[in-house]
Structure 1
């Protein structure tokens, strides 16, 4: 330790003082060497002399002596790289320790390495304040409690730079000091604290005042924008939202990479209720000054259109109120898929989706959630179910600073309905509660969890881009198939959807009950547990054989896939379309994946389409154990599936007999006849834009470019439905690019280009029961 010599002492010239200190520092290593041997020779309270150490054996064995040894951080340690030595560092004397202990407040200063070094000397800056007077600590504790910061009233309190608490609470501390009576024992100590605090915060105020008029902020003072309770506007994850600040503090990934971490809370739906959840925002460091409005997160009052922000987010919040239960919607934007709690990837989703918060929490790992959604049960909870703060995370709410919510009560069930779909009455109750709290609507988060039907991923969707579905009713009418058989399949699907509906699997097409007025249907839709009676044809084992399995077999391009898609759209049901690669071909993954998809479909009352399912339905072979295991797993899961399942195959003859016995309906598709092909050509060609060409100088005249005779000529080509569709598509692109009119010759040219093996002539129709395509 460098000796403390007052530079103001007239008996010691300044030059001699500096030379003395330099000489002492130069000889510091000598002093350390002397101290080391002093400890080894004379001992200390922490070191036992070697001759006093007990020995059980004279042999040099690791761990052989029943003694412990203390190692100390040595003088050559650097940051977290420790140089361990076996003697203690030099300590201050007891007299000096007593002198330090008597003062009420200790102020610590360190060298300011961010400022210029002049003549080898760095200026000093405030590092910390330690309050040792317990009366002052007790007075400050009541102030800091409102900032959700708790200090022990029986221990000294230490506040470190950049002194967040002191800055945000300075006005209240000054009011507390000014309100004390002159003869109050606490008054001189609290005035001392205020007088000590003022110069520490003066530099911060000076920096803020110099930038206040220009709307700029520096990274060193950006934390002053985020006091507890401030409403922050953020564009995190490319979505604007409002949140309330809980705390903000600097953190770092390395010595050169610092950032401000802002802990905030937003309102999210957790599958059961609307709750406050925590979220972490991050501001990366920046050099110089930066406009506040260019920050990714900043107080909403700095926004140029604050009223517009509140209005937009309130409207979005109202949209979220209608997305509590599973909703079949359309989406066209990017969605976020989370690999872990901090890493997400963007996926383009241009398809139909299922908005399902409860399913997202059930099937997506709970550790991926960005904020805790654990319910908080309050010790102060009353009968008012509309009090959103009773479910708040954190111990604070802007509207009432003295709220005190405890952690989840061990006696209360946590996540009462998580994993089960919310009922319609719960949705309505939540909606009414939130509409009464209009000031909270803008704080509803802008992302909602759900399932992308095309990519088969659980993702988070941007609420603004979720749109209603436009049902494709023309697909059913364009399906070239026996009308009676089409109606039969549609009726079975519609009836099964209603008959199996439960409070956990509701209709997406309509909230109204079906025409069936039976008591069982009424009880099922009202949420009551129906009386358990064995229906005609039902399996005697409860839970078995309740699914509707429809097998569609036939050659490629005859309309099997379109049948499932068209029926699902006409029934206004979600369609979960699966391929073999979605399920996997390994025994240990097939059962899990298949059960997962079938369970989700049953919860959504969706139609499942397993396209090209031959690999799972093939006849079992004693010589192929792996395939036999796959077939057995598929049979087992199919037995207990309660929804609607379409299976398509090109190889009916190879299907295992056990599958045939489990099929509810079997529709066989034949190759398209000429008459069927004519209908398919008619279905596709009217979808083209009107054709125009020049007639007698009239460039805008509309003329028929394809006659009925041309359609008859096209139907002679032996093509399946998919090949016809592809030929029309290519011809359309060619004619649009060149400005040609659609003609028979051009269509036939595209037939040759897309399917060189196609030929005209009378085909031999395979011996199938029905023919069809759309």
Structure 2
């Protein structure tokens, strides 16, 4: 009997619902859903939830899922007093179904919005397309968790879509959805709009922070005093188990980085912890770029930085001036910060192979921007803003890897005249220039002409200190516009296998970068071998063996050419002796160095008589450089240009120091 009465009640309810829906459709100017409508055959006209009539009723039904006395989850239509059994899709006629799920202790577990209307689903697919944690292309209903972030973020676009869709019923369904958003978020929207229009600037409360962060927008963050722009992927909340309040908003964003082969997107996470009351957007750890008071300037600066970042594709020789984070231990991610001002090599690919650090990992399911050359890489203006602000490089002075700031990188200003200004015979300079140029142009083919087992070009420069041996290597590197890779013998210490491994690694880098290599004070590696010093003999053998396979340009300097092992003779292509500087050479060095210290201009006080007096001083080339540096510092400290009296005072200070060190008043050459 009870079953029969229930069936009658259900039938009456269905008739009332059908009459109500017919009335709605007549108002909208459409035929009732019981009468089939012509279709253009598009897939959007096919109902994905099941029957063609599913979700056609322009209404929102509310259900509560609660546990009964037997511990089973039961659905309860809001407004009824008891749970009732129904079909698989009990609310299939409603355009939207709101479901609140409660736990055994009657605590609210969550709220879900099921969108069944084919009109709303079509609008969401076309207007939003993709959104984190929401599938718009499912064959069934579209489920949206509370709060309905995607509907709020695209509410204006959906309103525009409804206005121009040309379908009164679709417009009614979409407006029903938007009405729910406005109703359920009434207080939050009111608070959000009030904060955005605040007189002191856009502000927001922590609870409603998600409203300002629409996935896909550009967000601004300050990292290590550097402007950074990222693209927001999603916003997630973190709550304590027994609390409804959000403790932390987690922003997941992406930016573009380079691993030495491809450009791609890497992830970046920002946590915004709970705070009280309203807070200015610009005071948050990250906020939408559109809320930045200087957003246009930020865009211009970051676009320029992005273009520079792209220009560093592959292997690049650059100058760096600023803070660098050095990896003192290649196996550790710990870095030490130093302020440096010298030339570096940018080589992200080699950094990944030379260190044991955590390498760049691109986000899965994101498109790689493949490039074989920076000339073929084309990024949009927005992508340029997203480019990373740091690159990995190698210090040619410290011979260590470091993280470098893109803004501090500039082109190398080569001194093209340095080699011509070298105080050396023109014949020897021409010989060096010819050999280096041909080695640079022909590479391995040079070995067919020059005697030697290896394919490289090896020079031996010998003579007393300060006569220009090191300067020769430096100036030839600038003349050929190639990096100078200096290796100090003090670097090569330890057991023979370790020394060989270190030397081979450094020379391998030099070959890769086509650098001019300078091993200064190489005496310990070149002295003649004896039967009594087996350890030093091992070092000599190491250098001989490494030179056998070296294919670049190498300069060796020594003060004791007479003690060189005979085995080096076949490895050295050209040996140049540097005698003690004559008065004429010293005079020329004084003149050139002082002019460089005066920004390339010859000062009026630099007379011939003054230069003649300076040339009589018992100094070498390195001493002259140090004296002029002292004079330059004195002038700068007094906020004026360098004067003759500064040179005289610097020379006097140097001579006094030399006298104290030597004990007999003679310069220690």
Per the normalisation by structure 1, the TM-score is 0.60
Q: Structure 2 matches for 1:613-624, cutoff 5 A? A: 613-620=522-529, 622=531, 624=533
1:10-49 matches, within 5 Å, as none
* Aligned partner of 1:490 among 433, 436, 448: 433
8 Å CA contact retained: 1:717, 1:760: no
Structure 1 residue 234 corresponds to structure 2 residue 230: no
User: In the superposition, relative to structure 1, how do residues 599 and 177 fare at CA in structure 2: closer, same or farther (>3 Å)?
Assistant: same
CA deviation after TM superposition for structure 1 residue 158, in Å? 9.9
SS of equivalent residue, structure 2 residue 419: helix
Q: Please point out which of 632, 655, 664 is paired with 1:752.
A: 655
The offset of 1:168, in angstroms, is: 4.7
> For residues 572 and 193 of structure 1, do their structure 2 counterparts lie closer, same or farther at Cα, with a shift above 3 Å needed?
closer
Does 2:120 correspond to 1:211?
no
- Cα distance in structure 1, aligned partners of 2:385 and 2:458: 46
Structure 2 residue runs without a partner (length 5+): 1-66, 77-82, 85-97
Residue aligning to 1:97: 72
Q: State the number of aligned residues.
A: 564
| Residue in 1 that maps onto 2:340 | 349
Map 1:211-610; keep pairs closer than 5 Å. Answer: 211-214=195-198, 215-250=202-237, 260-283=249-272, 286-337=275-326, 345-365=336-356, 367-369=358-360, 372=362, 390-391=367-368, 422=372, 426-430=373-377, 433-434=378-379, 437-500=380-443, 535-536=448-449, 545-610=454-519
Taking the aligned partners of 1:763 and 1:232, their CA distance within structure 2 comes to: 64
| Offset from partner CA, 1:392-415 (integer Å, 9 cap, x none) | 7xxxxxxxxxxxxxxxxxxxxxx9
Q: In the superposition, relative to structure 1, how do residues 299 and 564 fare at CA in structure 2: closer, same or farther (>3 Å)?
A: same
State the alpha-carbon separation in 2 of the partners of residues 109 and 166 from structure 1.
27
User: 1: CA distance between counterparts of 2:408 and 2:436?
Assistant: 30
Deviations 1:437-496 (A, max 9, x none): 445433333333333322333334333333222222343234222221122112211221
Asked whether the 8 Å contact 1:331–1:350 carries over to 2, the reply is yes
* CA displacement, residues 559-582 of structure 1 (integer Å, 9 cap, x when unaligned): 211111111112221111222344
Moved more, 713-722 or 744-753: 744-753
Q: Which has the higher strand share?
A: 2
Give the distance between the partners of 1:734 and 1:603, measured in 2 at CA.
Answer: 42
Please state whether the residue corresponding to 1:573 is helix, strand or coil: coil
Is the CA contact (8 Å cut-off) linking 1:564 and 1:646 kept in structure 2? Answer: yes
CA contact (8 A) 1:735 1:742 kept: no
CA distance in 2 between partners of 1:637 and 1:208 (Å): 69
> Relative to structure 1, is the Cα distance of residues 94 and 538 closer, same or farther in structure 2, using a 3 angstrom cutoff?
farther
Cα distance in 2 between the residues matched to 1:537 and 1:463: 42
Q: Tell me the TM-score normalized by structure 2.
A: 0.68
**What's the CA shift string for 1:172-207, capped at 9, x where partnerless?**
99999999x9999xx99x999999987764554354
Do the aligned residues in 1 keep the contact of 2:234 with 2:251 (CA within 8 Å)?
yes
Distance 1:492 1:659 in 2: 19
What per-residue deviation string (whole Å, max 9, x for no partner) do you get for residues 490-511 of structure 1? Answer: 221122111129xxxxxxxxxx
Is the 8 Å Cα contact of residues 662 and 668 (structure 2) preserved in structure 1?
Answer: no
How far has the Cα of 1:235 moved from its partner?
2.9
State how far apart, in whole Å, the 1-side matches of 2:595 and 2:159 are.
81
* Corresponding residue of 2:50: none
Closer, same or farther in 2 for the Cα pair 1:477/1:628, shift >3 Å?
same
Question: SS of the counterpart of 1:367?
Answer: coil
**1:744: how far off?**
8.6
Q: 1:245 to 1:549 in 2, by over 3 A?
A: same
- Are 2:451 and 2:570, in contact at CA under 8 Å, matched by a contact in 1? no
In structure 2, distance between residues paired with 1:707 and 1:760: 31
Cα root mean square deviation, aligned: 5.1
Give, in angstroms, the shift of residue 170 of structure 1. 7.8
Unmatched tracts of structure 1, length 5 or more: 1-91, 112-123, 377-389, 393-414, 502-519, 522-533, 691-701, 766-774
Matches within 5 A, 1:104-253: 105-108=99-102, 128-129=110-111, 146-149=130-133, 168=153, 201-202=185-186, 204-214=188-198, 215-250=202-237
Residue by residue over 1:501-554, the C-alpha shift from the partner in whole angstroms, topping out at 9 and shown as x without a partner, is 9xxxxxxxxxxxxxxxxxx99xxxxxxxxxxxx834577xxxx61111112222
Q: 1:635 aligns with which of 529, 539, 544?
A: 544
Instruction: Give, in angstroms, the shift of residue 602 of structure 1.
Output: 1.5
Aligned-residue offset at 1:721: 1.9
Q: 1:476 to 1:135 in 2, by over 3 A?
A: same
- 8 Å Cα contact 2:627/2:647 also seen in 1: no
Residues 272 and 233 (structure 1 numbering): CA distance in 2 closer, same or farther, change over 3 Å?
same
Taking the aligned partners of 2:422 and 2:547, their CA distance within structure 1 comes to 28
Q: What displacement does 1:334 show?
A: 2.2
1:720 aligns with 2:620: yes
Q: Could you report, residue by residue, the CA deviation over 1:20-75 in whole angstroms, capped at 9, with x for unpaired residues?
A: xxxxxxxxxxxxxxxxxxxxxxxxxxxxxxxxxxxxxxxxxxxxxxxxxxxxxxxx
